[in-house]
Amino acid sequence: MSRGRGPDRRPPRTGALTAPSTRLGIAFILLVAGSCGLIAFQGGAALPQVGLAMGVGLAAGGGLFWYLRWILE
């Protein structure tokens, strides 16, 4: 059995993004979501509104992370 690159093997990924950068991205998304929730809480929002703000923060953080990955690749 050959260990070389065959037609069924993918070449190693040499992009700038690695598993640690993905973990950093997830932390970034959670930071944005937590920030939105804390700002809503500080403004006197009710608990459902804080949850809604965190959901919007997750979407915004995910969009920002996608954009950062897109411009870095």
Could you tell me the pTM of the whole model? 0.70
pLDDT in tens, 57-67: 999 999 999 99
Residue with tokens 């929002």: 45
Residue with tokens 């919007």: 56
Q: What residue type is assigned to position 61 of the chain? A: G
Q: pLDDT averaged over the chain?
A: 85
Reading the block at residue 30, the tokens are 């959670």
Integer Cα distance of 5 and 11 in angstroms = 7
Residue with tokens 């993905």: 22
Residue 53 burial (CB < 10 Å; 0-12/13-18/19+)?
buried
CB 57 within 8 A of CB 34: yes
